[in-house]
């Protein structure tokens, strides 16, 4: 008498039966009938990546299936696996058991495994053409998903090299250039056309684009840096963060002095500080209004700066810049008592009675970014320095013209948020071109209500050791190291595949040992014919 059945209404997909069956009778169905049920990590991810599915494939060694699944959600997993802030991990249901699954490293492992794979050209199924303005993460994402559908897509980039902020905003020690080039190359191999050195609004007008293309997507991001407004801000030796990183990213690294001060507490500021250190600075200070715990930069990037000897001055404001013979010679700072007022508006308050001064010979301001709207036609509405676009469809005030990414919403900017915006724009553009309803014909996300918990064994989270600090000096070698095959498969085993279901794949091999029925934490497995046919779910017993 082989095993009878599994009650799918009770099964949580915890994998206990798969892991413990001595005869290997069970498998996990990571895409069950209830396809709309998304795992908690997927709900937390802006791109709604199906983590449970590719993690299971990694665990089983099915790498072709893993990358196929990832590419349904992400255009460049080897990139996002390195620079994504992995908000998915904060929603990981395994946090209720021990620690979140190391999703970022698993994503990177799969992306790196196929890094140098060439894409097969995608057949053009439609005559209607799309123009994408900007080759940053939002623009690349939109182009990728539309090309997958069979649409002809052309991307216009004003810089001489592709990648947007991926190239000019993220240093090579975080995102190696060969990785970025390979991932963009894959999209180009698919059939996306790229035109570099073309500025829309200057070299070609939007009206001209609209005559040639059936839909347009603006994804030009925030390319302008803001400068500090204090006494001495006109001295020689002051530059802005994005200008500094842009020069480095395009291969024209500026000369760096011995003592550098970076003003700002975001990711750009930290990237500038660590880049300056690699270019030869002996002493780098970061001065920012926010306290250490409130700095907008990613915590792990702040910790890296501390590890490499960057001097942090949190809760500090620049009072004035000191000069000598027309050039920067020092900076004077004062305590910042508060950054926002009682209404949450930016309104910093200072204690000018206390100051601290130190010598510097170069200052880089990284206190914020802004979109360049000078080339945006008046026919497109803008609000508070950003293009106004529908929050769901991303369509602008011009029919058939869409916008997304940082140029629409720069708050809490991240690569994966831009990828999600590009993907959303691609859905809207296809619905627009095919006559669908851009508001109602979109899919719905429903979270798994009862992820596994009871009976799940605890296993420590796996990570890797970064490049030693002493080996980072004077070079842009990648700091983070990736998983080996064994590490990836062991970490993938920690994924509880929330929302999946166990299935009986080889019933003829069942030896009726009853271990599965006995140990199933949700009492979903029936081997014995004498067992009651209906049991209460654990969550209904509370």
For residue 27, is pLDDT > 70?
yes
User: Which phi and psi angles does 229 have, rounded to 5°?
Assistant: -115, 90
Verify that 155 and 56 share a domain, yes or no. no
Coarse DSSP helix, strand, coil percentages of the chain, rounded to the nearest 5 percent = 30, 20, 50
From the number of C-beta atoms within 10 Å of its C-beta (0-12, 13-18, 19+), residue 123 rates as: exposed
Among residues of the chain, what percentage have pLDDT more than 90? 74
**CA distances (Å), origin 299, targets 85, 101, 270, 274:** 10, 18, 11, 14
Q: How many CB atoms lie within 10 A of CB 420?
A: 23
**Cα separation of 13 and 449, whole Å?**
13
Among candidate residues 354, 370, 386, the one where a domain is terminated: 370
The answer to whether residue 324 scores a pLDDT higher than 90 is yes
Reported confidence tier of residue 449, pLDDT bands at 50, 70, 90: confident
The pLDDT of residue 460 is 92
Give the integer Cα–Cα distance in Å for 477 and 175.
Answer: 9
State whether 320 and 414 are in the same domain: no
Q: How far apart are CA 349 and CA 286, in angstroms?
A: 19
Does residue 26 share a domain with residue 51?
Answer: no
Residue 499 has pLDDT above 90, yes or no: no
Please answer whether residues 491 and 89 qualify as being in contact, where contact means their C-beta atoms are separated by less than 8 angstroms: no
Phi and psi for 65 in degrees, rounded to 5?
A: -70, -35
pLDDT at 329 over 80: yes
| Mean of pLDDT over the chain | 92
Judge whether residue 542 has pLDDT over 50. no
Q: What is the pLDDT of residues 416-433, one digit of tens each?
A: 999 999 999 999 999 999
Place of tokens 């930069």: 297
Under DSSP, the state recorded for 424 is H
Let me know whether 92 and 190 are in one domain. Answer: no
The least confident of 237-246, 330-339, 520-529 is: 520-529
Return the pLDDT at 15: 82
State what percent of residues in the chain have pLDDT above 70.
96
Q: How far apart are CA 70 and CA 64, in angstroms?
A: 10
The pLDDT value given to residue 539 = 47
Contacts of 9 (CB under 8 A, 6+ apart): 524, 537
State whether 104 and 13 are in the same domain.
no
For the segment 478-494, the average pLDDT, to the nearest whole number, is 96
Q: What gap in Å lies between CA 505 and CA 503, rounded to an integer?
A: 6
The mean pLDDT value for 73-99 works out to 95
CATH number at residue 59: 1.10.1060.10
- pLDDT at 34 (0 to 100): 52
Same domain, yes or no, for 109 and 135?
A: no
* Mean pLDDT across 438-458: 84
Which domain CATH number covers 526? 3.30.70.20
Q: Are residues 228 and 354 in the same domain?
A: yes
Q: Print the domain residue range for 107.
A: 33-117+452-491
Domain co-membership, 358 together with 427: no
CB atoms within 10 A of CB 374: 8
**CATH for 356:** 3.50.50.60
User: What pLDDT does 64 receive?
Assistant: 97
- Whether residue 467 sits in one domain with residue 331: no
d(CA 18, CA 504) in angstroms, rounded, equals 10
Tally the domains of the chain: 4
What pLDDT, in 10s, does the model give residues 87-103? Answer: 999 999 999 999 999 99
Top-confidence residue, 20 or 122: 122
Q: pLDDT: is 79 or 223 the higher one? A: 79
Mean pLDDT of 153-174: 96
Number of C-beta neighbours around residue 80 at 10 A? 27
Distance CA 366, CA 288 (A): 10
Question: Token pair for residue 320?
Answer: 């004035």
Kindly state whether residue 444 falls inside one of the protein's structural domains: no
The candidate with the shortest Cα–Cα distance to 418, out of 217, 198, 192, is 217
If asked whether residues 297 and 390 sit together in one domain, one would say: no
The confidence score (pLDDT) of residue 158 equals 95
pTM: 0.91
Q: Would you say residue 501 has pLDDT above 70?
A: yes
**Amino acid 541: pLDDT:** 45
Per-residue pLDDT reduced to its tens digit, 172-216 = 999 999 999 999 999 999 999 999 999 999 999 999 999 999 999
In a domain, 480, yes or no: yes
């Amino acid at each position: 008498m082989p095993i009878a059945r599994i009650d799918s209404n009770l099964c949580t997909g915890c994998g206990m039966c798969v892991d413990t069956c001595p005869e290997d009778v069970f498998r996990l169905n990571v895409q069950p009938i209830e396809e709309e049920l998304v795992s908690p990590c997927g709900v937390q991810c802006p791109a709604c990546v199906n983590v449970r599915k590719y993690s299971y494939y990694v665990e089983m060694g099915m790498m072709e299936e893993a990358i196929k699944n990832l590419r349904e959600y992400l255009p460049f997993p080897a990139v996002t696996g390195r620079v994504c802030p992995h908000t998915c991990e904060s929603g990981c249901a395994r946090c209720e058991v021990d620690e979140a699954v190391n999703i970022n490293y698993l994503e990177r492992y799969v992306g790196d495994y196929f890094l140098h794979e060439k894409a097969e050209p995608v057949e053009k199924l439609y005559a209607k053409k799309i123009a994408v303005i900007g080759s940053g993460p939002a623009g690349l994402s939109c182009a990728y998903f539309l090309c997958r559908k069979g649409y002809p897509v052309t991307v216009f980039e004003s810089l001489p090299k592709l990648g947007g902020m991926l190239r000019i905003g993220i240093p090579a020690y975080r995102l190696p250039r060969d990785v970025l080039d390979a991932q963009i190359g894959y999209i180009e191999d698919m059939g996306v056309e790229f035109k570099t050195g073309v500025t829309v609004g200057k070299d070609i007008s939007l009206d001209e684009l609209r005559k040639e293309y059936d839909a347009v997507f603006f994804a030009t991001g925030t390319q302008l840096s803001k400068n500090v407004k204090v006494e001495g801000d006109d001295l020689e030796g002051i530059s802005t963060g994005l200008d500094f990183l842009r020069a480095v990213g395009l291969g024209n690294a500026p000369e760096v002095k011995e003592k550098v001060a970076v003003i700002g507490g975001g990711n750009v500021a930290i990237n500038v500080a660590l880049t300056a250190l690699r270019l030869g600075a002996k002493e780098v200070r970061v001065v920012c209004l926010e306290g250490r715990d409130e700095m907008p930069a990613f915590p792990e990037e702040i910790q890296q700066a501390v590890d490499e000897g960057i001097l942090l001055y949190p809760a500090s404001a620049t009072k004035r810049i000191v000069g000598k013979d027309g050039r920067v010679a020092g900076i004077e700072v004062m305590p910042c008592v508060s950054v926002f007022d009682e209404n949450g508006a930016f309104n910093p308050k200072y204690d000018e009675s206390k100051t601290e001064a130190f010598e510097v010979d170069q200052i880089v301001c990284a206190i914020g970014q802004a979109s360049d709207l000078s080339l945006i036609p008046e026919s497109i509405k803008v609000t508070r320095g950003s293009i106004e676009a529908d929050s769901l469809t991303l369509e602008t005030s011009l029919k058939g013209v869409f916008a997304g990414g940082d140029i629409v919403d720069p708050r809490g900017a991240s690569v994966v948020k831009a990828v999600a915006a590009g993907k959303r724009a691609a859905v809207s553009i296809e619905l627009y071109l095919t006559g669908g309803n851009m508001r109602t014909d979109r899919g719905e996300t429903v979270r798994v209500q009862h992820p596994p918990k009871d009976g799940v064994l605890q296993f420590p989270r796996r990570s890797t050791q970064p490049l030693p600090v002493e080996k980072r000096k004077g070079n842009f070698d990648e700091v983070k190291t990736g998983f080996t095959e064994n590490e990836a498969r062991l970490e993938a085993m920690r994924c509880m595949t929330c929302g999946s279901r166990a299935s009986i794949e080889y019933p003829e091999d069942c030896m009726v040992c009853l271990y599965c029925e006995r140990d199933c934490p949700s009492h979903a497995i029936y081997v014995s014919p004498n067992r009651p046919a209906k049991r209460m779910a654990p969550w209904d017993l509370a």
